[in-house]
Structure 1
Amino acid sequence: MVEQPANVDAAVNTPVVVDSNDDGTVAQELELEHMRSILEEAIVETRSTPLENRPRLPRIALSKRNRAVVRALNPMLVTYLEASRDLCETDSILFGAALAVCRIIGAKVSTAGRATGHSSAIPAWRRRIEERIAKARALIGRLICFRSGNNRPRIVRTVRMAFAGTNVSLSQPDITQKLTERIDDLKQRIAAWGKRIRRYTERSTRFNQNRLFQSDQKRLYESLERPMVSGTGPAPNQADTVAFWRGLWSEPVNHSEGPWTEVVASQCAGITPMDPVIITPDDVAEAVRRAPNWKSPGLDGLHHYWLKRFMVCHSVLARRFQEALTPQSLPSLFTTGITHLVPKDQDSAKSLTVPR
């Protein structure tokens, strides 16, 4: 009874040594388990989502942390990829893995489908500056109306907001001079914003021309001698456009083969057939290695970057592509595209009726 308090004190005061490696291993396992749950949730979500409703994957930074996340998910995909049945299911698994990486690193993923989010050709910085110019011009109009004697409540409220944070009062004697100074200041800002747009546009044009000169000089010289023509006339009717192209591609045509076909067939009779094509994982790796990382994806929305980084998919893709060589075994997903009609002259509506 006397020795018990001393033993208790000794047990309490004894330091507990914890191995830091064990803590790191436990934390790493917990983190991997969390990543695995996110991956599984993303794959299940992608499988049940139509192609047009898939979110738009962003471009992620090529940082060490992001590459570490991709390397951690890479071995987890083996089980899902080996259980896939066809090329479409393999593609959905890879898209789900890419979506899981974006969610783990905190990248902003557009929740709206890619079919509803039409991207504009105007850069975001230019749209912001143009919005500032539009607001400044509207404010100038309100200030001019107030200076000319228009005292409607909406005009007065806008003028007060324009002078908010200053010592200017609408009832002071020199309010006309203050209004003129404010209008001149807004006009100078509009001029400065316009010069900024022109400067950025010229810089972007020079950059694109320099890059085009390195890749295709002929195309650059053609663009300089003959600028691209954008249709300024009325746009063609959708029904007329569909009827025009349906008449070219949808109606069956009976071709009359001439005697030259027999000559060609006799000449080709002695040609040795080509050896069967064998697609290997190295072929897939070499193909994706030379492809740009963030080139515009197809209907599936999967960039080449993910095919490069998820290296465990190369063997599975090689088998799926080998199966696709069988006639009529390639999914329609990989044979479907989007055609954009580009006007060739000033009047876009007449281009459908003019024979080429």
Structure 2
Amino acid sequence: MHRLFAELEPSVTVTAQNLADRVRYILRSNIFDDVKLERLRREAFPSSNENATTKDAVPQVAEQPAHVDTAANTPVADSNDDGTFAQELEIEQMRSTLEEAIMETHNTPLEIRPRLPRIALSKRNRAVVRALNPMMVTYLETSRDLCDTDSILFGAALAVCRIIGAKVSTAGRATGQSSAIPAWRKRIEERIAKTRTLIGRLICFRSGNNRPKIVRTVRMAFTGTNVSFS
């Protein structure tokens, strides 16, 4: 698949892994229907000879992306290379977790997304982030707008939390925010309470209560007005 793509688009530099990831993402997200895929194949191979090549090669890429990915990227187990094989398996698991998280949060409204915790900047956590960064290129290049990019970045953050085992709250953001009193409401309620206190002391003063605290409050209330204290 990578050799064929290099022949069709020699000016585009892409690795075999990124190309396989992009094909798998396009097929699973159903960005193009069968009719459009067939039209793209015909545009890529306008001549009859190239059409024959398309019938033999392209369906294997479109219909069996898992087979292409396995053949191109899965290492062969070797008794002298157990460490490398284990590392490759871990990378593939991280790639699968990233893909699942991005697809799960794709176009998910902000209010129902899970709340992500703060993670410690340990050596292991930094290594996980560095491993996922190059995997995100494929998804970010297919982003259509800023909202789509935000969804991809949130999915990547969710994947990091799942890989390192951080606890992710299943309750959406709206649950935590609905129980909290907005700041504007608190300010209004405080002003109402102060006004009620002032009204009560004015009533006490009019009834003949001349205690120093009441008198002081009344003088402050009428400061700068034309109302006579008497």
Q: TM-score range by the shorter chain?
A: 0.3 to 0.5
Structure with more of its chain in helix, by fraction:
2
Tell me the TM-score normalized by structure 2.
0.46
**Structure 1 length as normaliser, TM-score?**
0.30
